[in-house]
Amino acid sequence: MFIFNKTEIEGVFIIEPKVFGDERGFFMETYKQSDFEEAGLNYKFIQDNQSRSHKGVLRGLHYQKNFPQAKLVRVIQGEVFDVAVDLRKDSKTYGKWVGVILSAENKKMFMIPRGFAHGFLVLSDAAEFVYKCDELYHPEDEGGIMWNDPDVNVKWPLNEEPSLSEKDKEHPLLRDSKISF
């Protein structure tokens, strides 16, 4: 059982699972195909991924050029600020972003459809991030836009410069990218 909260960008949802807990711990479903389909989220997930990062690490904003992925993301340890940026050229929200805090404590999930750049900033000392994808990862197909693109203007909750990979330091601005979603 899930609550599917629409966001201001069509197709992007913040999902809250029903959590059954007592003094011993908790149980929750993290995905149930029939519930997602009933909510209009008809994805066939074919790959699960997990990453661990330390406080201040910013990963993103990533996408795949020719093999775009829809992603269902959540945090199983720690806390992140997670962002989806609409890169669908014909969308009325092209270049707009939605962000949400995902944590092991709040157990929220973020559904990001194909045609979006995705990234997250680790807010806790460390975070473990897991996600389902509806397309395989193709390393040669990676793309990205700069995390601090002034036209996109993501309001990252930062107190200092984030820790970035060398690859993430080199992404173009959205206006200079050649995205064709």
**What token pair was written down for 95?**
């270049």
Structural domain total, the chain: 1
With respect to residue 164, please indicate whether it lies within any of the assigned structural domains: yes
Per-residue pLDDT reduced to its tens digit, 60-88: 999 999 999 999 999 999 999 999 999 99
Cα 153 to the chain's mean position, in Å? 17
Per-residue pLDDT reduced to its tens digit, 81-128: 999 999 999 999 999 999 999 999 999 999 999 999 999 999 999 999
Q: 3-state class of 113 per DSSP?
A: coil
Residue 101 lies in domain: 44-176
With respect to residue 115, please indicate whether it lies within any of the assigned structural domains: yes
The pTM assigned to this predicted structure is 0.95
With respect to residue 39, please indicate whether it lies within any of the assigned structural domains: no
With respect to residue 21, please indicate whether it lies within any of the assigned structural domains: no
Cα 37 to the chain's mean position, in Å? 20
What CATH number is given to the structural domain containing 72? Answer: 2.60.120.10
Of 76, 78, 80, 72, residue with least CA distance to 99: 80
Catalytic residue IDs: 62, 131
With respect to residue 102, please indicate whether it lies within any of the assigned structural domains: yes
Q: Give the integer Cα–Cα distance in Å for 34 and 12.
A: 18
